[in-house]
Amino acid sequence: MTTITGTPPFFAAEGLLDLTMYDTLESIEAGLEGVDVQDGLYEAYDSIGRVVDLHATKVKREWVFVDIGQTQAKVTHVNPRGADKLRRILLHHLQSRGIDVSPESDLADLVAKWVSIDRK
């Protein structure tokens, strides 16, 4: 499987509940617990909508003990097949913060808007 560098920033979404921006794939790996990735809580994308494949390693579940494990994050598809979904997620989160954005905004405009408010 080919690995692509991806185009930062990267986004990890927990449905419509939470959206976090990361500067690198390594920061996604450090920021997401493997156990949550294994449970399918997150979807991740680069800034043009390429899907970031998330994989959990070293997760151990025992009766009352859970080793949270580690996350691996890779962009493996050149095609930005998640662009429409990332656009909808960004639009939702920007509007829910009261940011004035047009529902017709394209993905690049929404990414730029998110970056401008996230880095303040």
- Give residue-wise pLDDT tens across range 82-95: 999 999 999 999 99
Q: Is residue 116 helix, strand or coil?
A: helix
Question: What's the pLDDT score for residue 34?
Answer: 79
- In this structure, is residue 84 part of a structural domain? yes
Residue 3 in domain: no
Asked if residue 89 belongs to a domain, the reply is yes
Which pLDDT value is given to residue 2? 63
Q: Is the pLDDT of residue 68 over 80?
A: no
What is the mean predicted confidence (pLDDT) over 102-118? 95
Enter the pTM of the model.
0.88
Whether 53 is covered by a domain: the verdict is yes
pLDDT for residue 3? 66
The total of structural domains in the chain comes to 1
- ∠ CA 20-117-8, nearest 5°, is 50
Residue 36 clears pLDDT 60, i.e. is over it: yes
96 within some domain? yes
> Could you list the residue range(s) of the whole structural domain that residue 20 is in?
10-118
Residue 31 lies in a domain: yes
Query: In this structure, is residue 2 part of a structural domain?
Result: no
HSE-CB at 12 with a 13 A cutoff on CA atoms is: 24
Position 1 in a domain: no
Task: Please indicate whether residue 66 or residue 115 has the higher confidence score (pLDDT).
Answer: 115
Residue pair 20/12 in contact (Cβ under 8 Å)? The answer is: yes
CA-to-CA distance for 21 and 13, rounded, in angstroms?
Answer: 9
Q: In the predicted model, what is the mean pLDDT of the chain?
A: 88
